[in-house]
Amino acid sequence: MADEEDGKGYRWETEYERTWEAIQEDESGLLQPSVLDFVHRAKRKQMLAKKNVRLGMMRHLYIVVDFSEAMAEPDLKPTRLICTLKMLELFVEEFFDQNPISNVGVISTCNKRAQKLCELAGNTGKVVEALKSCKTQVPSGEPSLQNSLELAAEVLRHLPVHTSREVLIIMGSLTTCDPGNIQTTIETMRKCNIRCSIVGLAAEVYVCCRLTKTTGGTYNVILDENHFKDILFQHAIPPPVTGNAESSLIRMGFPYHRTETEGKPSLCFCHLDSQNPSDGLSKGGYFCPQCNGKYCTLPVECKVCGLTLVSAPHLARSYHHLFALEPFDEVPPDTLPADTPVTCFACQVSITDKHVWMFTCHWVLPKGGDFSFTHVHTDHGFSLKEDCKLLAPVYKSAYCASPHLSMHSSEMSIIVSSARNSSVWTVTFSSTTHCTPAPAVQAGSSTR
């Protein structure tokens, strides 16, 4: 049979790729550095991807977790299921930190069925609590990919067009037991503009490839626990919006806050369904500017008038993905000055490892810096730009190669996570773009 991918002939007529020759041992005989290099190249490729695309600002994401027998395997410690739930707890917190006006729900699948563990909610605590409650559940049976997709589509298909509709599946099984033709369900997800992405814990499965390719999602199979976290946290970044998505003006309200000493005892709308009568009874809270409804936390959609209630920092954090850094420029280590003492710009500690220089507004860091997950919310060098111009000829600084450094600006922060590799990358910071939140926000129309 001819090769369907390249169409150049038969497979037995092609030469061996000799992929084993690309893996090399280090001085101690380990293969781990070579594997890390492959992961590093994948991150580099992602950073160089096209950036001038529209991003989804208001996201609705359903996380589908596999609870089948395959999740009891101990290749991820202590088991795949426990490791996945712990990773998802961290992911949910990161997701809401970067997408504060979005919503997340959780679906579990096992014994050929699917059920909701948590409805779509914008409260981090509610989603994390649903994940923690599943740690004692015993994995059993087989998953049903079709039932999970249809359960998520029942809610996502009715959402407004200016919001992104997403499904993230954590799949540990190599099989799926479905009641019907899953190809029909995949086509339905495509027509409803529901983007499906999958993180595989075992191996690549054809039906998963077909699902992600048809719906415009991503499919990755993890190497280890660290790679699992890296792949999972990539989904905290908003995905590109489809080309035919319409731009809409969304009315948003900025509620006023009353402290415990200013208000009078009253019940909030977010605890109306609570079984405990004392829940939600307090003097303080956030009050809707349109109907005066009271809520404990933000952001939230008012249950009385339907107005989306947010604060200015929530909108500011929703915009920071639109103004990304320029790609890293690789610098050969042998071009750097040797035996020159420098101190860390952030903590003033002497740097003894391989280091790099900063000139004017060109900040540089070791290749150990995990550039794929460097969280840059604004250009912290903006306020230092004039100082840099004056001090560049005489003052040079660098980042430490080991600790996690945090440098704060007037609004947000940058966190540089460093690892242990020795090659060097250079970062060029762009100028800061300030966003002034307004009650009417044009969703899905910005570019980065």
For residues 40-75, b (16+ Cβ closer than 10 Å) or e, as one string?
Answer: beebbeebeeebeebbbbbbbbbbbbbbbbbbeeee
Domain range spanning residue 340? 324-428
Give the whole-angstrom CA distance, residue 193 versus residue 381: 39
Last residue of a domain, one of 309, 336, 353: 309
pLDDT of residue 419: 29
pLDDT range class, residue 353, cuts 50, 70, 90: very low
Q: Is pLDDT at 417 greater than 60 in this prediction? A: no
Is 2 domain-assigned? no
Contact 110, 147 (CB under 8 A): no
Most confident of 38-47, 112-121, 269-278: 112-121
CATH assignment at residue 89: 3.40.50.410
Task: Please give the model's pTM, rounded to 2 decimal places.
Answer: 0.66
Percent of the chain whose predicted confidence (pLDDT) is above 70: 57
10 Å CB burial of residue 384 (0-12, 13-18, 19+) is middle
* Mean pLDDT of the residues in the chain: 72
Q: Is residue 317 part of a domain?
A: no
Give the pLDDT of residue 148: 97
In a domain, 328, yes or no: yes
Answer yes or no: is pLDDT of 1 > 50: no
Residue 12 scores a pLDDT above 50? yes
Average pLDDT over residues 97-123: 93
Selection from 149, 203, 198, 146 nearest residue 173 by Cα: 203
Asked whether residue 224 is domain-assigned, the answer is: yes
Domain membership flag for residue 45: no
Average pLDDT over residues 76-80: 94
Number of domains in the chain: 3
Instruction: Return the pLDDT at 440.
Output: 39
Distances (CA, A) of 262 to 11, 265, 281: 76, 10, 15
Pair (260, 362) in one structural domain: no
Sorting pLDDT into bands at 50, 70 and 90, what band is 88? Answer: very high
Q: Is residue 16 part of a domain?
A: no
> Would the pLDDT of 191 be above 50?
yes
DSSP β-ladder status, 308-309 and 329-331: unpaired
Q: What would the two tokens of residue 44 be?
A: 């580099």
Count Cα neighbours of 346 within 13 Å in the Cβ-side half-sphere: 19
How would residue 122 be classed by pLDDT, with cut points 50, 70 and 90?
confident
Q: Is the pLDDT of residue 50 over 60?
A: no
Which pLDDT value is given to residue 260?
A: 83
pLDDT top residue among 355 and 18: 18
Average pLDDT over residues 219-235: 93
pLDDT at 267: 86
Residues 190 and 288 grouped into a single domain = no
283 and 401 housed in the same domain: no
Mean pLDDT over 316-339 rounds to 61
The token pair that represents 365 in the structure block: 């860091």
Least confident of 79-88, 186-195, 324-333: 324-333
CA angle 110, 118, 78 (to 5 degrees): 55
Q: What is the mean pLDDT of residues 50-73?
A: 84
